[in-house]
Amino acid sequence: MRAVAGRSRGGTTRRGALFGGLCLCCLPTLGRSAEGFAMDEVGPGIFIRRGPDAEATPENNDAIANTGFIVGERSVLVTESGGSRADGAWLRAEIGRRTDKPISHVMLTHVHPDHCFGAAAFAEDKPVYVGHHALRAALDARGEYYRGRLAEILGADRAGSVVYPTLEVADGADIDLGGRVLRVTAHGVAHTNCDLSMRDSASGILFPADLLFVTRIPSLDGSLVGWLKEAEVLKAMGAAKAVPGHGPTLVDFAPAMDDLTRYLTTLRDETRKAVAADVPIEKAIQTVGRAERDRWVLFDTYHGRNVTQAFKELEWE
Amino acid sequence: MIRPLAKPVANRTVLFRSILAALTLAVPLATAGAALVPGPVHAAGASDDEAERLARWKEIQKSIFGDKTITATDSLVKVDAPVRALDASLVPITLTMPEKDRVAAVHLIIDDNPSPYAAHIAFGPGADAGEIKLRVRVNNYTNIHAVVETRDGQLFETTKFVKASGGCSAPMGMSDEEAMKGMGDMKLKFAEAQPGRPVEATLMIRHPNFSGMQMNQVTRDYTPARYINKVAITRGDKTVLTLDGDISISSNPVINFGLQPGGQGPIKVVASDNQNGRWEHSFTAPSATN
């Protein structure tokens, strides 16, 4: 299932619209605050909010990733913190409307702002902030830069601040919420260098975070070769259903992962071919992976950069 | 003759603040998973009028070339760059110089970068000066100037406007340590050689080229600038080219250049940076017969 059917092939119109802060695919949600989002109960005690396939704007609070929470017998785990303090505060209020149980854990699935800038909103719950062992260094390198850019769009108050993990996962970790255990995996360099995934023992649902994009074009910020390797690690877990970092709140895991690996494989193979044939990077950006164009939202915004990243990585092979 | 490059001003913090002030709203996250695109607001550079741009160029021109006359040209040099950069920290630039035998050197200037003088390339007898490709950082909506120095000492310029922002201050990798890995490693690739035709070569150098504008959150300090400031390429006893570089060159610098046909001997590359790093590698060039 793809959300891009019927969009203009012209590109120019679409790009123009995007640059104006408008995104055709999510026009109906424009002007609505995060409060307008609904939460889907995708499994017993698992509530997920679908982030729109859009860019951060002053109107959407950077609430563009899939966030949510899991309720155990004893406490609540936040699956993704949100894209800003405002987005995190919205999620925290949603949790309060549904359960009195304390928030014990907040997942910081990787360094990107649309996933970790909601963390500050949970400070008074004093949760365990769970992150990859490489997240701290990544936040050191990028956090202030992200915060500044986000503050320019949302204002400093709504943007939030950099929050460090208090539980640094080196390899794996089990989080017991009572009646259900979340098995957390720290992955090798893939989407970023600090990706976490987790699996819920009660429902069997996999939470690959941004190791799985659905409908929204994947963004490559770690290692292309590494991501394909970690895709195999995820597949080997054998989950039937997954909550992707972006896209619908619950998907059949295998076909969704196949779409992602097809995109990444195409990017890898065509970029390698370009490098081998001495195609210069500026030409590769225009020619690699074009067959994927109608399969992803925001293709024109991100694909060229993905090719740039891929080229930088593969030209040293 | 190679002139010293304009250096970033001494007080980096002040400089950085002024750049931030100049950037205003439309700064996408150059390295984020999801870039932040605000509403219909333009970067400060976008609203600058022609007069301001011209005034800035005149100032830069004076600091680099003094009072020497620079004539506009459509034929001696051409700049190719994407109108809108997808990745501000890696903007591919192609300089084409069709009357290559007249060309002694070319200067690349990115007017609105914190240190505008990006590169100076002087060609020796071993070079084919027809084309040079570089990857640069672009920090703002800016004019990019190429100035050619002819063998008889005249200067000619052309310009191209590029929309990009944040390329110099964008964090590059996830950690400084990672960025330093393999520093000084090099690769030299050659396009298939055809007898009597110039050989196209691609030099790749592992180096973070820290711009001095990337902040470390813990120390609240900037990673000190560390960049390749000279690359000397020779073939046998002939100079191919000498490049003076600055912080506007992207990390892991890649430069494409042409070799004169019929050259002999191995190609030697000596690269050095502003912190006394020095790396030397020798490569065997393909020899096109006859």
Residues of chain A with C-beta less than 8 angstroms from the C-beta of B203: none
A237: region left, alpha or beta (phi > 0 left; psi from -120 to 50 alpha) = alpha
Best mutation target, B27, B29, B141, to test chain A (most A CBs within 10 A) = B29
Say if CB A203 and CB A68 are below 8 A apart.
no
Q: Which of A281, A299, A278 is nearest to A290 (CA)?
A: A299
Residues of chain B with C-beta less than 8 angstroms from the C-beta of A316: 187, 204, 206, 252
Residue B70's Cβ-side half-sphere holds a number of Cα atoms within 13 Å equal to 22
Residues of chain B with C-beta less than 8 angstroms from the C-beta of A308: 86-87, 90
User: Quick one: closest CA in B to A64, which residue?
Assistant: B34
Given B33, B82, B217, which is nearest A221 (Cβ)?
A: B33
Say if CB B203 and CB B269 are below 8 A apart.
yes
Inter-chain contact A278–B31, Cβ cutoff 8 Å?
A: no
Nearest CA of chain B to the CA of A32: how many Å?
15
Given A21, A83, A149, which is nearest B27 (Cβ)?
A: A149
Given A114, A138, A148, which is nearest B175 (Cβ)?
A: A138
Exposure letters A249-264 (e unless 16+ CB within 10 A, then b): bbbebeebbebbbebb
Given A21, A83, A162, which is nearest B38 (Cβ)?
A: A21
Q: Which of A192, A81, A183, A208 is nearest to A133 (CA)?
A: A192
Q: What is the DSSP string of A22-33?
A: --GGGGGGTT--
* Strand residues in chain A grouped as ranges (E): 39-43, 46-49, 67-71, 76-80, 103-108, 128-132, 167-169, 172-176, 181-186, 196-200, 206-213, 241-246, 251-252
User: Quick one: closest CA in A to B213, which residue?
Assistant: A145
Q: Which two tokens stand for residue A102?
A: 């304390």
Inter-chain contact B171–A145, Cβ cutoff 8 Å?
A: yes
Q: Which residues contact A71 (CB under 8 A, 6 or more apart)?
A: A45, A46, A47, A98, A99, A101, A177
* Strand residues in B163-253 grouped as ranges (E): 186-190, 199-205, 215-216, 221-222, 228-235, 238-245
Determine whether A310 is exposed, middle or buried from the number of CB atoms within 10 Å of its CB (0-12, 13-18, 19+): buried
* pTM of full prediction above 0.90: no
Report the DSSP beta bridge partners of residue B122. Answer: B105, B242
Nearest CA of chain B to the CA of A152: how many Å?
6
Given A18, A56, A309, which is nearest B36 (Cβ)?
A: A56
Exposure letters A205-234 (e unless 16+ CB within 10 A, then b): bbbbbbbbbbbbbbbbbbbbebbbebbeeb
Determine whether A199 is exposed, middle or buried from the number of CB atoms within 10 Å of its CB (0-12, 13-18, 19+): buried
* Weakly modelled stretches of chain B, pLDDT under 70: 1-48, 169-175, 215-220, 287-290
Strand order in the sheet with B103-110: B70-72, B155-162, B142-150, B103-110, B117-123, B238-245, B228-235, B267-273, B278-283
What's the rounded Cα separation, in Å, for the pair B13 and A316? 34
Nearest CA of chain B to the CA of A247: how many Å?
13
CB atoms within 10 A of CB A287: 12
Round to the nearest angstrom and report the end-to-end CA distance of chain A: 35
Residues of chain A with C-beta less than 8 angstroms from the C-beta of B177: 137
Given A55, A192, A210, which is nearest B35 (Cβ)?
A: A55
Exposure letters B12-26 (e unless 16+ CB within 10 A, then b): beebbeebeebbbbb
Q: In terms of DSSP H, where are the helices of A100-166?
A: 113-116, 135-154, 156-159
pLDDT in tens, chain A (317 residues): 333 333 333 333 333 333 333 333 333 333 333 445 689 999 999 999 999 999 999 999 999 999 999 999 999 999 999 999 999 999 999 999 999 999 999 999 999 999 999 999 999 999 999 999 999 989 988 888 899 989 999 999 999 999 999 999 999 999 999 999 999 999 999 999 999 999 999 999 999 999 999 999 999 999 999 999 999 999 999 999 999 999 999 999 999 999 999 999 999 999 999 999 999 999 999 999 999 999 999 999 999 999 999 999 999 99
The whole-number pLDDT of residue A37 equals 67
Inter-chain contact A144–B217, Cβ cutoff 8 Å?
A: yes
Residue B217's Cβ-side half-sphere holds a number of Cα atoms within 13 Å equal to 21
Inter-chain contact B175–A285, Cβ cutoff 8 Å?
A: no
Handedness of CA B33, B38, B44, B49 (dihedral sign): positive
Inter-chain contact B171–A57, Cβ cutoff 8 Å?
A: no
SS3 assignment, position A312: helix
Nearest CA of chain A to the CA of B3: how many Å?
30
Best mutation target, B20, B37, B139, to test chain A (most A CBs within 10 A) = B37
Inter-chain contact A111–B189, Cβ cutoff 8 Å?
A: no
What's the rounded Cα separation, in Å, for the pair A83 and A60? 10
User: Quick one: closest CA in A to B179, which residue?
Assistant: A141
CB atoms within 10 A of CB A170: 9
Q: Which two tokens stand for residue B194?
A: 């055809």
The whole-number pLDDT of residue B231 equals 98
The whole-number pLDDT of residue A22 equals 37
Q: Which of B188, B159, B198 is nearest to B255 (CA)?
A: B188
Give me the amino acid identity at B241. L
Query: A36-39 contacts: CB < 8 A, separation 24 or more?
Result: A37/A63, A37/A90, A39/A68, A39/A94
Give me the amino acid identity at A306. N
Q: What is the DSSP string of B48-110?
A: --HHHHHHHHHHHHHHHHTT--EEE-SSS-EEE--SB-S-TT-EEEEEE-SSGGGEEEEEEEE
Best mutation target, A59, A142, A308, to test chain B (most B CBs within 10 A) = A142
Best mutation target, B89, B217, B223, to test chain A (most A CBs within 10 A) = B217
Nearest CA of chain B to the CA of A148: how many Å?
9
What's the rounded Cα separation, in Å, for the pair B31 and B251? 14
Q: How long is chain B?
A: 290
SS3 assignment, position A300: helix
CB atoms within 10 A of CB B237: 9
Query: What letter does residue B138 receive in the DSSP assignment?
Result: -
Residues of chain A with C-beta less than 8 angstroms from the C-beta of B87: 304-305, 308-309
Nearest CA of chain B to the CA of A33: how many Å?
15
Q: Which residues contact A96 (CB under 8 A, 6 or more apart)?
A: none
Residues of chain B with C-beta less than 8 angstroms from the C-beta of A160: none
Best mutation target, A152, A163, A283, to test chain B (most B CBs within 10 A) = A152
Inter-chain contact B37–A21, Cβ cutoff 8 Å?
A: yes
Give me the amino acid identity at A96. G
* Strand residues in B89-198 grouped as ranges (E): 91-96, 103-110, 117-123, 127-136, 142-150, 155-162, 186-190
Q: Which two tokens stand for residue A150?
A: 């986000």
Given A55, A141, A308, which is nearest B87 (Cβ)?
A: A308
What's the rounded Cα separation, in Å, for the pair A194 and A198? 13
Nearest CA of chain A to the CA of B69: how many Å?
33
Say if CB B228 and CB B121 are below 8 A apart.
no
The whole-number pLDDT of residue B214 equals 73
Round to the nearest angstrom and report the end-to-end CA distance of chain B: 34
Best mutation target, A140, A272, A309, to test chain B (most B CBs within 10 A) = A140
User: Quick one: closest CA in B to A219, which residue?
Assistant: B33
Inter-chain contact A20–B34, Cβ cutoff 8 Å?
A: no
